[in-house]
Amino acid sequence: MTPRTITQSLHDLQSGALTATALLDEVEAAADRWDSSLGVYLYRSGQAAWAEAEQVDARRERGEALGPLAGIPLGIKDVIATYGAPTTAQSLIARDPKVDAPTVARLRAAGAVVTGKTSTMEYALGFNDPDKPFPMPRNPWDSLRWTGGSSSGTGSGIAAGFFLGGLGTDTAGSVRMPAAWCGVTGHKPTYGVVPRTGVFPLGWTYDHVGPLARTAEDCALLLSVIAGPDGQDPAATGHGFAYSPEPVRPLRGLRIALAVDPLEVSTAEVCRLTREAAEVFAAAEAVVTEIRLPHYAEGVDVTMLGLAAEALTFDDIDLVLSPTASRPAPLVDGLDFDEVVAMLQTAYWNATGNPALSVPMGLADGMPVGLQIVGRPHADQLVLDAGRHFQDLTDHHLRRPDLTEDER
């Protein structure tokens, strides 16, 4: 069965082929069946979600105007404040603010159905502590493997069909990493495009709030709802984001650079898939070249990264491609922080603030891996358009894990 996307589901909801309550019943049934094994949810909204879905159906039946996400079930990472649901940052000492963060409030105003809070790790850093009463997120493609973090439950839940999209946060790759390893799509917007008010901070200079969903188009729609200043986050800019039903810019003539540095530390399969992905763009008449990124090996040096951000505003490249991670998801048992950090090809772009998207690019050793597409600051539209074109030309994003009783 082809997995549901947000945009297709909205079409079905608007045409009457689907109701919000029927859609919620479908995703809740998947969660009922598999969440005990996958550890997606910290908290499920239950009756509150049903009330939201029923209200959408009633308003639609009365012919009332509805928001752009009316009836779409979404999961919210546990570091993002959500009214009516605990926000713990998966810590025993965190103070629950008991309000909606602006991003969550905007999703509700758009008609989204919040199905619950999704698992992460304590304050979105490190790994899950088995001695604490929080779920251990596991990968729906192989429950012996990790989802990636720290937006773990959101990435896993989309892949497993528990909801159609959701929010994560990304300080060094925490949206893109679970997106890549769970076979879905995740976008880290340009720094400041989405307000971080109501989010437990990890690294204030690098923290981003971003959407995860099945497709780049779905992420674009979610970004259009959550983007824009809120008057509280001093880093939030005046740049909103407008969703378009079609990509704004064609691939023909687009100048794309394949980053060599990440390939040199990636497995042979990930290298092959990344080069094949670059060939998809080249076949669509984009101009693809290879580059080395400024000071990539010294990526922890903030000064050098600041210079790199400015260097990446030269006029001869529109986008940069790389693998999101150098290898597929590791096993849960024996996770090593330094080894996982070494796998990531994401953190560089948190320090520069550039928009970066991870889209599925195929399977390596039977597990999903992601292609990272990076643009200039505030070129979120172009980055998401490139992801949409890639997904128009490939079907990697439509693959889903085989959740069978035997495997769980």
Stated as kind and residue range, the H or E segment containing 256 is strand 255-259
**Between β-strands 73-77 and 165-170, what pairing exists: parallel, antiparallel or unpaired?**
parallel
Which residue of the set 77, 119, 151, 326 is catalytic? 77
Residue type, 108: R
Distance CA 223, CA 167 (A): 10
Of 45, 119, 174, 266, the catalytic one is 174
Local structure of 199: helix, strand or coil: strand
Distance, CA of 314 to CA of 323 (rounded, Å): 22
Q: Are the beta carbons of 158 and 164 closer than 8 angstroms?
A: yes
CB 383 within 8 A of CB 319: yes
Residue-wise burial string across 98-112, b where 16 or more C-beta atoms lie within 10 A, e elsewhere: eebbbbbbbbbebbb
What are φ and ψ of residue 258, in 5° steps?
Answer: -90, 120
98 catalytic, yes or no? no
Q: What's the number of CA atoms in the CB half-sphere (13 Å) around residue 278? A: 23
* Furthest-apart CA atoms within the chain: distance in Å: 59
Q: Annotated catalytic, 117?
A: no
188 is catalytic: no
Which entry of 119, 150, 151, 358 is annotated as an active-site residue? 150
Return the closest-CA partner of residue 174 out of 150, 154, 192.
150
Give the residue numbers marked as catalytic: 77, 150, 174
